[in-house]
Amino acid sequence: MLDDSKILSHLVVPAGVTISLIALTRYLKSRDSLNKVKFPYPPGPKGLPLIGNALDLPRSIPIWEGFAQMAETYGTSTTDIMYLKMFGTDVVVLNSSETIADLLDKRSAIYSDKMENPSRLFHEFFNIATVDRYDEGQRRAASRLLKNLGEHPADFHHHVQLATGSLALSITYGIRVDSPKNPYFNAVEEMLETILPALVPGAFLVEFLPFLRHFPSWLPGGGASSFGERVYKYSLDSITLPMQYVTERLKAGGEISGSLVTRCLDKLGVLREQNVNEEVIRNVAGLVYLAMADTTNTVLNTFFLAMARNTHILDEVTGGERLPEHSDMNELPYVTAIIKETFRWSPPVPIGTTHRLMEDDVYKGIFIPAGTTLLENIWGICHDEKVYPDPELFNPGRFLGKDGKIDPSVKDPEARIFGSGRRICPGRHFALRNLHLVIANVLTAFDILPPVDENGNPQPPPPAFKYSQVRLQQELGFLPGS
């Protein structure tokens, strides 16, 4: 059963939160087994007693860029895996697509502590065969976004947030949100704002130091515990308030069919046989907003940033007579290439979420102990210059063949940015449909222009990101054109 603390640990504090006493026990056990077998640990920096490699982690650049740099030294041509010790915890960073596929995909049975019930529900609601049931909601959210962008272009950041948030609340609870003042929208957004600071690199370290959570907040490094309390309160509000709306509406005989929650409640009898009760449904529903909002917003904001920096790209996009529909997506390869390049240039979840190895494993002669926390270096993989020459350049053309169609021989970042194995993002089909629709519509309706200086000269915005696990952008301050 999925309880409140598990929800938090699952997405809110993803990297390292699984590190606990159990992991420590497993770690100690695995050291025993290492003594019995003769396989070496993966390569990695030596580290210091007790704190391990904590000081080897970069401070001036995002952690994922640091991993990519360290991987050049410690990755090997055969495995591309790097080993770190963080305060007694084994951490393995997977630096290539092939290694991720070999371990997290092919050996997924032991490389994931998956929550079975929610996964089944997620699959049921977002699988590729039925995901078009959300098309209408996606269309509504996209057309509201266009309207808002046209009326108040400078607030693009908020329009994006509202479009995604209203879509999440409508598909999950059947709640219609028309303005940012909506109380349900506020509850979930406040919660996200509270938790995001925890995902900066400094906080990443804190996650490996569970004891810091017990420090008073006025001590350096403290604050995690009061922070945790705030997160808990907001998280509870954000999942209980919308549920109350649904149950009260249903009691009053109101009509809110079609949402994820009502469909679950409709078949509660069958679900109970699979150990799914109202609490699980409530938590699954809460997880959808968390998982959907910042990832989707990050991609959309990155797209705006990239377009404002590369106005020549708009010349390649041919405007249409009408706004694109979902059914047009296969006919718009340049839009598809822009989306792939947006994913690649700035992967929204750059080191994935943590996976935990459930039993000792040996891979290509290298020992990985049970309890190891695994991170996917998705950013590094997407910026590998052997695969993507000139990786810092935003260049959608790299995904297109001479015929103007998507070139299948170029590695597709979509294969990695949604995670891997049994924990792979169940919302990926939904996300791709939605992003295609929104981006194709925005490109058809607007020219995205950089800000100008006092002399009217364009000032391309810098590629500045707030450092967080789910990457957020700073306010850009550019206006969409007409």
Among 382, 425, 440, 479, binds ligand HEM (CB under 6 A): 425
Per CB under 6 A, the segment of 81-89, 90-98, 114-122, 189-197 that binds ligand HEM is 114-122
CB of 131 to ligand HEM, least distance (A): 9
CA 274 from centre of chain: 28
Question: Can you list the alpha helix ranges (DSSP code H) found in 331-470?
Answer: 333-345, 378-382, 414-417, 428-445
Nearer to ligand HEM, 394 or 430 (CB): 430
CB of 111 to ligand HEM, least distance (A): 10
Q: Quick one: residue 397, left, alpha or beta (phi over 0 = left, psi -120 to 50 = alpha)?
A: alpha
Tell whether residue 430 is a contact of ligand HEM (CB under 6 A). Answer: yes
Please tell me the distance from the alpha carbon of residue 168 to that of residue 288, in angstroms, as a whole number.
Answer: 7
DSSP, residue by residue, 183-223: HHHHHHHHHHHHHGGGGSHHHHHHHT-GGGGGS-TTSTT--
Closest CA relative to residue 299, chosen from 431, 447, 148: 431
Tell whether residue 287 is a contact of ligand HEM (CB under 6 A). Answer: yes
Tell whether residue 137 is a contact of ligand HEM (CB under 6 A). Answer: no
Per CB under 6 A, the segment of 136-144, 189-197, 286-294, 398-406 that binds ligand HEM is 286-294
CB of 119 to ligand HEM, least distance (A): 5
Among 431, 437, 442, 445, binds ligand HEM (CB under 6 A): 431
Tell whether residue 201 is a contact of ligand HEM (CB under 6 A). Answer: no
Nearer to ligand HEM, 212 or 281 (CB): 281
Tell whether residue 289 is a contact of ligand HEM (CB under 6 A). Answer: no
Per CB under 6 A, the segment of 87-95, 302-310, 417-425, 472-480 that binds ligand HEM is 417-425
Tell whether residue 117 is a contact of ligand HEM (CB under 6 A). Answer: no
How many chain residues touch ligand HEM (CB under 6 A)?
Answer: 26
Among 288, 317, 368, 479, binds ligand HEM (CB under 6 A): 288
Asked whether the beta carbons of 478 and 448 are under 8 A apart, the reply is yes
Q: Cβ–Cβ contacts within 10 Å for residue 432, how many?
A: 18
Please tell me the distance from the alpha carbon of residue 382 to that of residue 380, in angstroms, as a whole number.
Answer: 5
Among 349, 374, 381, 439, binds ligand HEM (CB under 6 A): 349
DSSP, residue by residue, 377-405: -HHHHHT-TTTSSSTTS--GGGGB-TTSS
Per CB under 6 A, the segment of 73-81, 316-324, 406-414, 415-423 that binds ligand HEM is 415-423
Strands 361-363 and 366-368: antiparallel
Nearer to ligand HEM, 126 or 173 (CB): 126
Amino acid at 131: V
Place of tokens 């649904």: 246
Closest CA relative to residue 143, chosen from 482, 441, 448, 480: 441
Please tell me the distance from the alpha carbon of residue 329 to that of residue 336, in angstroms, as a whole number.
Answer: 8
Tell whether residue 356 is a contact of ligand HEM (CB under 6 A). Answer: no
Tell whether residue 439 is a contact of ligand HEM (CB under 6 A). Answer: no
Tell whether residue 419 is a contact of ligand HEM (CB under 6 A). Answer: yes
Strands 366-368 and 373-376: unpaired
Per CB under 6 A, the segment of 116-124, 227-235, 249-257, 357-365 that binds ligand HEM is 116-124
Among 159, 398, 423, 471, binds ligand HEM (CB under 6 A): 423
Percentage helix, strand, coil for the chain under 3-state DSSP, each rounded to 5: 55, 5, 40
Please tell me the distance from the alpha carbon of residue 463 to that of residue 257, in angstroms, as a whole number.
Answer: 43
CB of 350 to ligand HEM, least distance (A): 9
Give me the residues that bind ligand HEM (CB under 6 A), please.
Answer: 118-119, 122, 126, 287-288, 291-292, 295-296, 299, 348-349, 352-353, 417-420, 423-427, 430-431
